[in-house]
Amino acid sequence: MIAVIGATGNVGRPLVAGLLARGTHPRILTRDPGRAALAPGAEAVVGDLATPGCADEVLAGADAAFVVTAGPEAAAHDRAIAEAVARHAVRHVVKVTSVAALPPVHDSYGAAHAAAEDAYRATGARCTFLRPAAFMSNTLQWHWSLTDRSTVFQPFGDLPQAVVDPADVAEVALRVLDTPALGGRAYTLTGPEALTARERARCLADALGRPLTFVDAPPEQARRAMTDAGLPPAYVDGLLASQSDPDPARGGVPLPTVRELTGRAPRTFDAWLGAHLHLFA
């Protein structure tokens, strides 16, 4: 049995759909009973990783686990999951981390992901780490300022990023879960082209068929927006440091990894926009 933690997220959702489509019935975790119902055929555990015993409930009896954690509490959640992986002798863990985890780490966001990788390695399970570049789905965060002001606010607007479709990360995870020989390694995953946020906003304007203004937001403004939304300042600082990292090896240039693992080219940003345009309406 495959356990899926983070089953309702950007990568988890297409991963669960892919498992179900080929007749594999995973056990999934979500905090929301309504979301559990969205994956008929999966065995749902409704719970919160902050609750002691939650990871045990999901992982008991699992041969393999796919794990996504997110947000400022992710490090604590990863520690709890790793302890449960060891207790239940889960054989293979496929864990989504980030390009920021590439050694040597440059910021606290990358350090948290690298510490999570270490925690899973220490379990004795075969560990496969998927280190994606920025997700194309982050574009959905522009929605709030598009409707009323037709404006995109984004810091570091001229930094090229080979953004990746989370569905491609899910497809790589499926391939690795299917093919034991591919496990036990770390894979850096990117999309097929390096685009700045300014260029992505232009693609979005073209797709929507209306002009958009791009504002290269000062990092301090982005920081305030995130801390005002309740995120801890230290977490936000790590996130912004990672987003501003100019190291081309951290998602700045397209890599062949998705094609090598899935046998087909990673999806383009225009293709992602085409499939998600209704969400910007």
Ligand X SMILES: NC(=O)c1ccc[n+]([C@@H]2O[C@H](COP(=O)([O-])OP(=O)(O)OC[C@H]3O[C@@H](n4cnc5c(N)ncnc54)[C@H](OP(=O)(O)O)[C@@H]3O)[C@@H](O)[C@H]2O)c1
Q: Which residues make up the interface to ligand X (CB under 6 A)? A: 6-12, 29-32, 35, 48-50, 68-71, 74, 96, 98, 132, 134-135, 138
Residue 233 CB neighbour total at 10 angstroms: 10
CB of 125 to ligand X, least distance (A): 18
Cβ distance to ligand X smaller for residue 48 or 178: 48
CB of 68 to ligand X, least distance (A): 5
Half-sphere exposure for 18 (CA within 13 Å, toward CB) = 22
CB of 157 to ligand X, least distance (A): 16
Cβ distance to ligand X smaller for residue 170 or 209: 170
Cβ distance to ligand X smaller for residue 180 or 225: 225
CB of 137 to ligand X, least distance (A): 7
DSSP the chain: -EEEETTTSTTHHHHHHHHHHTT---EEEES-HHHHTTSBTBEEEE--TTSTTHHHHHHTT-SEEEE---STTHHHHHHHHHHHHHHTT-SEEEEE--GGGSSSP-SHHHHHHHHHHHHHHTTTSEEEEEEE--BGGGGGGGHHHHHHH-EEEESSTT--B--B-HHHHHHHHHHHHH-GGG-SSEEEE--SS-B-HHHHHHHHHHHHTS--EEEE--HHHHHHHHHHTT--HHHHHHHHHHHT---TTTTTS--SHHHHHHSSPPPPHHHHHHHHGGGG-
Cβ distance to ligand X smaller for residue 123 or 161: 161
Cβ distance to ligand X smaller for residue 51 or 150: 51
Cβ distance to ligand X smaller for residue 149 or 272: 272
CB of 228 to ligand X, least distance (A): 19
CB of 81 to ligand X, least distance (A): 10
